[in-house]
Amino acid sequence: MITLYLTRKVGTEPIPLSLPATPADIGNTFAELDTICPDPSATEIYKVDSEVRNLNRYICKADVEDSETLRKLNQLAELLQSMSREDQMKMEGVLDSNPINGMDDILNAASMVKEYVLLEEVTSNRTLGNYLVEHGVIDCPENIKPYLDYVGIGAEFYSDHGGAYTLNGYVVRKTELPPQLQPQKPFREESRDEMLRLTLRTGHHADYPLILPADEEYLSSVKKYLCIDEFSEAQIRDVRFKTPYIGQMIHAMECPSVEEYNEFAEALEAIWQTDGALLTYAAVLEAEKPEYADDDYEYAARFAADQASPSIDTTILPADQSINLGSTDVGDVSWQVPTGLIGVTTEAAGCALHTWQIVAQGKSPLAHKGMHYAARILFAAAKKLYESPERCALIQDDYQHVIGHRTYQSMLPDSVKPGDF
């Protein structure tokens, strides 16, 4: 935020204008100035308050009566407001280390903040020289260090590499730092499985491979290394899964975030640690085919949480074991023609029949896929019988053998006629 204190007459109380501001707020401020003095050319910036302490020196002479200048001041305030406190501190050094000749140069300086680094508490040639020696830039034996010219070492580095001293420390371009002072790549705990890898791209670094899942400490160090405050400032260029087959079934989210990917990776990690669970999860994904990407993440999280007590019925019944599936009118038909019975899954295992729960599940993707699967079986069976008269004859012979001399007897009394109901 920037607060301009405006005046049009010496000796009068300045009128504050806090930026960024709406056109209405700006209009009200200038209307109040008009009550002091109606001459716009008399408008002056009395002082400037900002988190960037030296900003007053660069904008105090700005012509706020010029609409374009005021627009740029508002834009600058928005940029400063979006910066972290560290970037605001670096902004002071960026301004002092670059030629500034107007609002365009100030805005350009704000856009370059990420290209600079702040060496905190390094505020003079002496402290810079000491910093360089302690961090191994100047290699010398321990017994020689008390006799070094730290002021001269700092002054020489400052002269060669530029930058600026501020009250918070030394601000210099990252490209000017020797290798010993370059940010080190973050370290990730190797004991954790790599479930997926994101390739991140920023305007300040080469592509960075981010391995997930990861803890907050590692994620914070990655952001610091990439010189970003939030992962939303980086572009996700590529996503690779530990299991490519699952990666093929996971939809790419429209605007995925690193945080969401990390939650998903943690859920996958929990699944991975249970023998066979990842294959089962893949089967669930393939069967359900979630319509939205968010569902993929929800499936993984829920599946991982349910591993202690799986809700999927994995029982395989012997082929020769008869199953009581209830009675239907097909039983009557089977006395007249050869009849085969198939069973497909259309509801959760153990759900009571003839209940509202069964009705509700009839709208689920699982029920629809089960019915489609049954239809495919019926069609394939009919096609095979149509194309093979020999098979039909064999089935008829088997059917006659099973029926033998038994005849069908209806369970309804002979006296009951269809029209009686």
Q: What is the pLDDT of residues 366-375, one digit of tens each?
A: 888 889 888 9
Q: What share of the chain in percent tops pLDDT 90?
A: 19
Reported pTM: 0.52
Encode pLDDT of 255-287 as tens digits.
578 888 888 888 888 877 765 566 667 666 666
Q: Out of 9-18, 228-237, 378-387, give the one with best mean pLDDT.
A: 378-387
Encode pLDDT of 148-170 as tens digits.
999 999 999 999 999 999 999 99
Distance of CA 132 to the CA centre of its chain: 39
Q: What's the pLDDT score for residue 309?
A: 47
Q: What's the pLDDT score for residue 308?
A: 43
